[in-house]
Amino acid sequence: MSDFRYSTGPTRVVFGSHTLADVRPEVERLGRTRVLVLADPGLGTVGDRVREALGALAVGRFDGAVMHTPVAVTEQALALLREVGADCVVAVGGGSTTGLAKALAVRTGVDQVILPTTYAGSEVTPVLGETDGGTKTTRSSPDILPETVIYDVELSRGLPLGITVTSAVNAMAHAVEALYAPDTNLVTDRLALEAIERIARALRRVKADPADADIRADLLTGAWLAGTCLGSVGMGLHHKLCHTLGGTYGLPHSPTHAVVLPHALAYNAPYAKEAVRRIGEALGNPDAPAAIHDLLVETGAPTSLRELGLAEADLAQAAELATAKPYPNPAPLTQEGLAGLLRAAWAGERPSLGGPPRLDWLTDQVVSTIAGPPRLRHLLGDLVRRLHGFAIDNDLTQAEWQAGIEFLTRTGQLCDDKRQEFVLLSDSLGVSSVVDALTNSRTPETTPSAVLGPFYVEGPPELEHGTDVADGLPGVPLHVEVTITSTDGSPLPGAVVDIWQSNEDGFYDVQLPDLEGPVLRGRFRADDGGRVRFWSILPSEYPIPADGTVGDMLAATGRHPYRAPHLHFMLAAEGHQRLITQLFVAGGKYLDSDAVFGVKQDLVVDFPAGTGTPPPGRRVTGEWRDLRFTFRIAPA
């Protein structure tokens, strides 16, 4: 059990599409009558829309917000706020405009209504970062929190891809650090994981369709949740580094967060293994630092501090500044360690936990090329995803995959009209039994099905009732009489019954080239009572062919090749579903370890000793068995 403290913020959230229209009602709900509009310098048109929506409530406008919230700029806006007598600020834009609104509110107590156009997330945090004299400082207070945040999906649909990606990864950073913050709790954990998953999912799709409203909604929601995490728990190394780099060297805010995040995460990973594992799950890649880096590459975002204008000569000083004051962080903070982190981030190296790269972009590309009928597209697309996932999850090497290709090639080369190695492979891996169960387990009132196996031959010879299919082969004589009925118990005259089995030594006729013609197999037609009667020999356990690839696999994995003794049946009747099944000899060997996982308890039956005069069809001296069974097959 973990102890924790959690406080919910008082901010009201309005989320949706075209919610800019709610700005005046929200100001009026707060009881405010004089609004100073703050707009990003590049959002003049949107600022005009906000001022128009406010009508007479808007008494002034300031479009001079600057990154990192310089105190000098705040003083200019503060003078205008006092001049117009504003009791509320409405800010529309990114993190810079939100920061300016917070700075004005903390100095004057005015209410704030924020309309974010990027994914900074700072609009729902009680944190304010300000720059003065080349140093960025932060403070946290409930008074800094805006009163209302209006998320309008339409305001971010035109956001350029570069800003979209970096501001969204900036938001993701809030969620990442929340998962290993010292005051983390179960609420922020769930919010953080949901934020990471939504942001990552949306970023993988936004390049293909930047204006998609659902994608933008996912990004806004993720930013809101991530910002909520930032406002609830303390931040660590990542945010400290970014504040140092931004405040001291003037690096752009969200691109700096994007570049630094995968490196800060890799630095902390050995000391926050469980958190990093969960982050990897949310990202869909266990190597979380590499996944974030790959996401930046895929979307064309910057990946190095060098691209952002940081000089290599500044790295040592940046590491020194970042370790000057202690702050909570999972990994120990050393000047040498941070210098290495910053150098890797400056060079744009790909951080990694040692796992495979994220390749879902490649999987998506392959799946996108699949055309044809819907069912084919679904099956092949799912197969591609699972094959790619198998390769990635197991970090498959080229040598291992080549060995697999060679195995499958040899499997195919062993197949002919008498041997089906691929069927054996399917059987011995249990796939045949899975498909059989999926196909036939939905009619419990029928006799259970079983796998077809590799030794069925189309068009077996049609035989008369009472025929001895063993044709003189050695073995304990077996008389078989089966009845075929529908599920209501009514007999099915004329039902076609194919049977086949192995000889006493465990071989089928197709495996014995010296035999002339079919043996131990045949086709019968049920009489008026739905009955079929024939003679054979008692089935024996036998090994599936183990001289090929399947045998190699069984040997390599410590498995035996034996099947429990059984007799095959294929039954068909007009107006009914075909049934493929097997009857297993009760007390036989390998019932609990059948090599193809084909045994079902309801198919294990007694083959009792025969008594009295044997039925006609075979001359019997000594022991014989007498099998009686009723098959119930389902109507079509």
How many residues are there in the chain? 636
pLDDT at 41: 85
> Phi and psi for 71 in degrees, rounded to 5?
-60, -35
Bridge partners (DSSP) listed for residue 580: 570
User: Rounded distance, CA 437 to CA 441, Å?
Assistant: 5
pLDDT at 138: 81
User: Rounded distance, CA 591 to CA 585, Å?
Assistant: 9
Q: Tokens 């014989």 identify what position?
A: 624
User: Rounded distance, CA 193 to CA 195, Å?
Assistant: 5
Classify residue 612 as exposed, middle or buried by CB count within 10 Å of its CB (0-12, 13-18, 19+): exposed
What pLDDT, in 10s, does the model give residues 456-473? 999 999 999 999 999 989
Secondary-structure breakdown of the chain: helix, strand, coil percentages, each rounded to the nearest 5: 45, 15, 40
Collapsing DSSP to helix, strand or coil, 492 comes out as coil
- Residues in CB range of 574: below 8 A, 6 or more apart: 494
User: Rounded distance, CA 120 to CA 106, Å?
Assistant: 19
CA 485 remoteness from chain centre:
46
pLDDT at 355: 63
> Phi and psi for 284 in degrees, rounded to 5?
80, 20
pLDDT at 437: 86
Report DSSP letters for 38-86, one per residue: EE-TT-HHHHHHHHHHHGGGEEEEE----TT-BHHHHHHHHHHHHHHT-
Domains and CATH numbers, the chain: 9-156 (3.40.50.1970), 159-356 (1.20.1090.10), 360-413 (no CATH), 428-633 (2.60.130.10)
Asked if 484 and 573 count as a contact pair (C-beta separation under 8 A), the reply is yes
Measured between its terminal Cα atoms, the distance across the chain in Å is: 57
Asked if 37 and 92 count as a contact pair (C-beta separation under 8 A), the reply is yes
pLDDT at 419: 87
pLDDT at 6: 47
pLDDT at 43: 80
Quick count: other Cβ atoms within 10 Å of Cβ 166? 25
DSSP letter at 329 equals -
pLDDT at 359: 77
Low-confidence residues of the chain, pLDDT below 50? Answer: 1, 4, 6
